[in-house]
Structure 1
Amino acid sequence: MHEKVLAWLAENVPVSRVNHILRVEQMAVDLAVHYKVDHHKAAMAGLMHDLAKYFKPQKLLQMAHKEGLEVDEVMEANPHLLHADVSAIVARDTFGVEDKEVLQAIANHTLGRPGMSLLCSIVFLADSLEPGRGDTSELQALRQLSRQDINQAVWKNCDYTLKFLLESSCLVHPRVVFTRNWFLQKWKAKQPVVQQTA
């Protein structure tokens, strides 16, 4: 399967993107081992997360509509946001992936989703934090955090993305905000309550 996917990628995405995909696969496996999640599933989702990355906007919209996916006005304006959902369709239809959790991890790797599984969170973080993304102090801190507290890492990663989108005057998809808020609340709920002294 691995060789088959790599051969398909070699024909459909540039070499630089294949290298990114392999780094995401590796980081997803490392995090999966760290959190005792099935690393085979993490590897599969990491390897297939960007299958539709270079599909033309029209093809992304067409496949999303055919599948009955919700396509809102932000996605209509920026069809590239659909590449994660469409990559899951390609994984299922071209490579016969039936594992729902793997398909969800592929579909949620860009925008996240409130309540997403640990595997989804791992692939979501691996995509943003793999070594090729850069070596700023902010990214280093997020990488460290991803191995300490995954819920905190997800919402802080959303903050990082939102900051970038706002500074670049890009459209922000509401799901990034919903994901951020859900993981922030989950993290806050686990924090010890500090007793106020009079």
Structure 2
Amino acid sequence: MIDDDPLVRAGLRMLLGGPDGVDVVAEGEDGGQAVELVGRHRPDVLVIDVRMARTDGVSATREVLAAYPDVQVLILTTFDADALVLEALRAGARGFVLKDTPPAQLVAAVHEVASGDHALSPSVAALLVREVSGAPAAAGGERAGRARSALENLTEREREVARAVARGGSNAEVSRELFLSVPTVKAHVSSVLAKLGLANRVQIALLVHDAQDGDTGR
């Protein structure tokens, strides 16, 4: 757990360490300590603040996952529309939740992330949906070009599944939309993740979003 406010760390330690909680194996006060602490203690989940004075949570997430790709990252923020949300998810974070999340939900988010799922506060999920389905976010020609090139490595059916996932569809919803069985959808999602080197469905959505940004400029 890393946060530059000692009072926040104390509060999180109490919230997370309840009877149904998790073991807090180490604490740090800056993202620059993340790689060293993860290497020493090998936690299942790194809980880290997004905004810190020296090394922020996004930079720390990139560094940690480059060194320890099996660690799951849950990022905390005070702001429900923080400009770093999408960058944090692109960096590989599994979850992004608000610091005022009720204790039970925060503990649940840690467990969800530990299991390989993703956890987003409702407001953060809404932001992601707006970015994916709304107006272009000016991702830039280079990023859009990389995204389109990546999607070209997929089969047409895999691209259809990726676009449906980007619209927020669950496996069951994608199944109904594309007239596929749920196991087939799961297989396609797994193939998309493997081919594109992505960690989760959120990153699929972000990649599709980037590619669509580039298409709007044509």
Structures share fold, TM-score greater than 0.5? no
Bigger share in strand = 2
Bigger share in helix = 1
Q: TM-score range by the shorter chain?
A: 0.3 to 0.5
**TM-score under structure 2 length normalisation:** 0.31
**TM-score under structure 1 length normalisation:** 0.33
Higher relative contact order (CA 8 A, sep 6+): 1
